[in-house]
Amino acid sequence: MRVLAIETSCDDTAAAVLDASGVRSSVVASQDAVHAKYGGVVPELASRQHILAIVPTIERALARAELTLDDIEGVAATHGPGLVGSLLVGLQAAKGIALQRDLPFVGVNHLEGHLLAVLLDRPVAFPFVGLLVSGGHTSLYVVEAPGAYRQLARTRDDAAGEAFDKAAKMLGLGYPGGRVVDELARDGNPTAVRFPRAHLKSGGWDFSFSGVKTAVRQYLIDDGSAALPDVCASFQEAVVDMLVNPTLAAARALGVSRVVVAGGVSANSRLRARMTELGGEAGLDVAFPPLAYCTDNAAMIGYAGRIRLLRGERDALTLNAAATLPVGVERGA
């Protein structure tokens, strides 16, 4: 089945085409330049940019796949979680195509797309422990199979990616800041500044990043004498420690031998190195999606959606966008 997939949950307009051979095309139109001067995503601007970009992005995805809409056999689109104004643009475009062409349609949970993105590049046996870490989400799951997810832990406050971006803003690095912090940290000393690591006594494997974010602010007020690369490396090391340790502890406690790290922050070079190193020492197989599929993209939505379509699942064209949508819950209109 050839599937056209659309993703517009936040500030990236994305479209992809998938079939039995894999990803035929994947196109992402970034809005970074639009939001940079505001230091973060402005929802109203994001939805307006999606309106401008959605048709050209779909057209580019079809052209790169060397196909037309006549060749498409099913349509999938993100319907949550995310910014409702942004979600509606992609969702309505997908439903419009499905209606006009009498094609089967499914809505896909954005989080499910991230958890399965690794399968676009390599096989990973089930079950696995999935760490989903991005600007809006930081959660830990057991993934038993496509469609079968159990949440183990979540952040109690900020998402890890949000902490990266806020720290970068305090350091004057602009938006989005996660990539810049990662780049500067490569030349820094991760032990130069001792930033705190949150350990939640009653939270199991839950995460918390508000403390380390506040610690960066306080350090800049009280001292701030360390070189910028050292501050970046020290902050990054603290965040990575707080992601790696609970994830590996959960995998060991559950007796699961495979760990998958997904979401935008999974592109962070230090997280990839530390999770692979310590996971290997613990006898765990650690996998990451390719960098192109770490950040928001439609290929991951197409992968999850194609599985549902092949199972015969369909969503009504009344399916609405959902700002919050826990992964694995029953979907409805």
The answer to whether residues 134 and 264 touch, using CB atoms and an 8 Å cutoff, is yes
pLDDT at 175: 85
Cα–Cα nearest to 77, from 323, 331, 302, 318: 302
Establish whether domains 3-115+294-310 and 126-288 are of one fold: yes
> H/E element holding 143?
strand 138-145
* Separation of CA 130 from chain center: 12
Strands 22-30 and 12-19: antiparallel
End-to-end CA gap in the chain: 24
Question: If one looks up domain 3-115+294-310 in CATH, what number appears?
Answer: 3.30.420.40
CATH class of the domain whose range is 126-288: alpha beta
**CA 293, CA 172: separation in Å to the nearest integer?**
28
pLDDT at 328: 56
**CA 50, CA 85: separation in Å to the nearest integer?**
9
**CA 242, CA 138: separation in Å to the nearest integer?**
11
The DSSP code for 5 is: E
pLDDT at 275: 98
- Name the residue ranges covered by the structural domains of the chain: 3-115+294-310, 126-288
The answer to whether residues 50 and 35 touch, using CB atoms and an 8 Å cutoff, is no
pLDDT at 199: 79
C-alpha angle with apex 131: 169 to 186, nearest 5 degrees?
A: 45
pLDDT at 169: 92
167 φ/ψ angles, rounded to the nearest 5 degrees: -65, -40
Exposed/middle/buried for residue 285 (C-beta within 10 Å: 0-12, 13-18, 19+): middle
pLDDT at 196: 93
pLDDT at 203: 63
Handedness of CA 16, 90, 133, 187 (dihedral sign): positive
Residue with tokens 């500030």: 11
Q: Calculate Rg over the CA atoms of the chain.
A: 20
- Per-10-residue mean pLDDT for the chain, 333 residues long? 97 97 97 90 96 98 98 98 97 98 98 97 96 94 95 94 94 90 96 90 85 95 94 98 96 97 96 97 97 96 98 97 79 35
The answer to whether residues 247 and 274 touch, using CB atoms and an 8 Å cutoff, is no
332 φ/ψ angles, rounded to the nearest 5 degrees: -155, 170
